[in-house]
Chain A
Amino acid sequence: MPVQDRTVEFKACVDSIRNRSPAPSRLQAEAKQRLLQNGEREVRKSDFSRMAGAIGRDISSTTIKLGKLAQLAKRKTLFDDRPVEISELSSIIKQDIAKINHQIAALKAHLGGAQQQSKGTSAEKQINEHNNNVLMLLQTKLADTSVGFKDVLELRTQNLKESKERTDQFISSTAAAVRQTPQNSLLFGGQGKRDPMGDGSARDVKGKGRALPDNDMLALDLDAAEGGFGGQSQQMQLVEQQDTYIQSRATAIESIESTIAELGQIFSQLATMVAEQRETVQRIDADTIDIAENVSGAQRELLKYYASISSNRWLMLKVFGVLIVFFLVFILVS
């Protein structure tokens, strides 16, 4: 939940109310003078408080956007990833952070100028100290936001890497190894860069300005990370082109392999059918042998019969003689 920093506005309100309260009459001249001085300083302070308030509002809105980006980046789904939104949102956040950076730098410059004009009274010293504290508060808030942004970006690249590995499992490709090395070199190399923006003014304030170069370094790291990311997607595109060619060859060869397997199946089916028919052929064979045997047996019997008939001629003559006698008898009678 983003914390809204309204302390500066509160302080400004408190100051204005205090200045409105009535001063004792004998010190009225002094009070007027003091009021005038306060007014001047108030002008400066209200300037300061206005700018600080604006910066605080910007930081809070950036934190809200960062929360949204973290939400989007946490999604680990393979297909519903919304890279356009994520990249848009991250670029918007980066711009906001840069703008806030500039505003803080301007505020610091303004503050530095105001401090040089100060006369060194204790009240003003306190005011200056208060202003510096406010400035440092804003800077730490910005640093926190930038750190959160960097974490979200790292999370996002981690998720992208995982989703790429998962797609590789489905479409296994030899180019996966090539793809991973750019990630290692560009993204992690970018974090090693420590090139502050050449911010000479940061060294003036005694130790309270440390936050500012950190912000710059962090902003630069984000730039390097984003740039490395873009280059990495370019390299992935080139590898994917060759990937397409290799993939098409792989699919063609796979179809050939499946055709050959089909052919093998057809051959074995053929062999099975022919084996089944072998049994039928054997039955036919047996039947044909039986037929031949039967026919030859029958022929033998007929031959025997013929032989017996032709050798039995006497019996036949006798039989025929009896028949002729009967025949003659019948004719003679009729």
Chain B
Amino acid sequence: MKVIALYVLRLPEDKETKDDSKVEILCEADDADNEVGYIKRSAFRDFMKFSTRTIALRTDEGGMQMVEDAGYKMHVLRPVDGKRIVGAAVTDPEYPDRVAQGLLSKLTKDFLEEVPEENFGNRAKITFPAIHSMLRKYQDPKEADPIMKVQKDLDETKIILHKTIESVLDRGEKLDNLVDRSNALSSQTKMFYKTAKKQNSCCVVM
């Protein structure tokens, strides 16, 4: 389960265009080096960029879309009031959709907060190193997404509690054992005491 790439795209001014080369990539981070071999790398990058741009062109404001194709899932989110900014992520098919959408909304929100709008036209001025750290962090969705983290902690706690209950049952068994034994010992010592007492009081010599 991993995230292959993250992109921040900017849609062109012309709303009706279907030409995806007009969509600018403002910021990108990808893990394609670990995903495909050296020869396929550039073609793979082109594939990812093309598909995310195409989907972004057809996304309305406030819309989120997911397309599964060629063994990868492309998630696209266009925030409301986003100034034509679109966040896109390429993941493998097992990655949970909800976490991907959460990642994209966080990405777009941080990007809009950190990078001022006038830099949008100038790619060189945009510095957003957080995109790389986000890509790394979200490789394991169970750690990054708070809901999944809580769920994981709860599951661990449940396992621990099951073990506790088992040990409590064992303790009960041992306690039962102890009760029986102490009962027996108690009766034995009572006999001992009676015998010792009888020694003293009865026939003087024998």
Q: What residues make up the interface of A, taking CB atoms closer than 8 Å to B?
A: 238, 241-242, 244-245, 248-249, 252-253, 255-256, 259-260, 262-263, 266-267, 269-270, 273-274, 276-277, 280-281, 283-284, 287-288, 290-291, 294-295, 297-299, 301-302, 304-305, 308, 315, 319
Q: List 12 A-B contacts (CB under 8 A).
A: A242-B64, A256-B154, A259-B155, A259-B158, A260-B154, A263-B157, A266-B161, A270-B161, A284-B179, A291-B186, A301-B193, A315-B205
Given known A-B contacts A241-B63, A277-B171, A267 and B161 have beta carbons under 8 A apart: yes
Q: Given known contacts A249-B98, A266-B158, A287-B186, what 12 new A-B pairs fall within 8 Å (CB)?
A: A241-B63, A245-B97, A255-B151, A256-B150, A259-B151, A259-B158, A262-B158, A263-B154, A273-B168, A274-B168, A284-B182, A287-B182
How far does the Cβ of A209 sit from chain B's closest Cβ, in whole Å?
43
CB < 8 Å neighbour of A287 from B60, B172, B179: B179
The answer, yes or no, to whether B35 is at the interface (CB within 8 Å) is no
The answer, yes or no, to whether B65 is at the interface (CB within 8 Å) is yes
Q: Interface size (B, Cβ < 8 Å)?
A: 43
The answer to whether B164 and A238 touch across the interface, beta carbons within 8 angstroms, is no
The answer to whether B151 and A295 touch across the interface, beta carbons within 8 angstroms, is no
The answer, yes or no, to whether B36 is at the interface (CB within 8 Å) is no
Chain A residues whose CB sits within 8 angstroms of the CB of B130 once the complex forms: none
Given known A-B contacts A252-B147, A280-B175, A302-B196, A295 and B189 have beta carbons under 8 A apart: yes
* A109 CA to B98 CA, complexed, in Å: 64
The answer to whether A270 and B164 touch across the interface, beta carbons within 8 angstroms, is yes
Chain A residues whose CB sits within 8 angstroms of the CB of B169 once the complex forms: 273
The answer to whether B172 and A256 touch across the interface, beta carbons within 8 angstroms, is no
Which residues between 99 and 147 of chain B lie within 8 Å of chain A, taking CB atoms? 101, 147
The answer to whether A277 and B158 touch across the interface, beta carbons within 8 angstroms, is no
CB < 8 Å neighbour of B147 from A256, A281, A295, A302: A256
The answer, yes or no, to whether B47 is at the interface (CB within 8 Å) is no
The answer to whether B151 and A270 touch across the interface, beta carbons within 8 angstroms, is no
The answer to whether A301 and B199 touch across the interface, beta carbons within 8 angstroms, is yes
The answer to whether A266 and B196 touch across the interface, beta carbons within 8 angstroms, is no
The answer to whether A269 and B199 touch across the interface, beta carbons within 8 angstroms, is no
Most chain B C-beta atoms within 10 Å of own C-beta, residue among A255, A288, A298: A298
Chain A residues whose CB sits within 8 angstroms of the CB of B60 once the complex forms: 238
Q: What residues make up the interface of B, taking CB atoms closer than 8 Å to A?
A: 60, 62-65, 96-98, 101, 147-148, 150-151, 154-155, 157-158, 161-162, 164-165, 168-169, 171-172, 175-176, 178-179, 182-183, 185-186, 189-190, 192-193, 195-197, 199-200, 205
Chain B residues whose CB sits within 8 angstroms of the CB of A288 once the complex forms: 182, 186
The answer to whether A304 and B200 touch across the interface, beta carbons within 8 angstroms, is yes
How far does the Cβ of B121 sit from chain A's closest Cβ, in whole Å?
29
How far does the Cβ of A49 sit from chain B's closest Cβ, in whole Å?
53
- 6 closest Cβ pairs, A-B complex: A294-B189, A301-B196, A287-B182, A298-B193, A298-B196, A248-B98
Chain B residues whose CB sits within 8 angstroms of the CB of A270 once the complex forms: 161, 164-165, 168
The answer to whether B172 and A277 touch across the interface, beta carbons within 8 angstroms, is yes
* A283 CA to B183 CA, complexed, in Å: 9
Given known A-B contacts A260-B154, A263-B154, A291-B189, A245 and B64 have beta carbons under 8 A apart: yes
The answer to whether B147 and A305 touch across the interface, beta carbons within 8 angstroms, is no
Chain B residues whose CB sits within 8 angstroms of the CB of A283 once the complex forms: 179, 182
How far does the Cβ of B93 sit from chain A's closest Cβ, in whole Å?
16
How far does the Cβ of A113 sit from chain B's closest Cβ, in whole Å?
47
Chain A residues whose CB sits within 8 angstroms of the CB of B162 once the complex forms: 266
CB < 8 Å neighbour of B165 from A238, A273, A277, A308: A273
Chain B residues whose CB sits within 8 angstroms of the CB of A284 once the complex forms: 175, 178-179, 182
How far does the Cβ of B173 sit from chain A's closest Cβ, in whole Å?
10
* A290 CA to B184 CA, complexed, in Å: 11
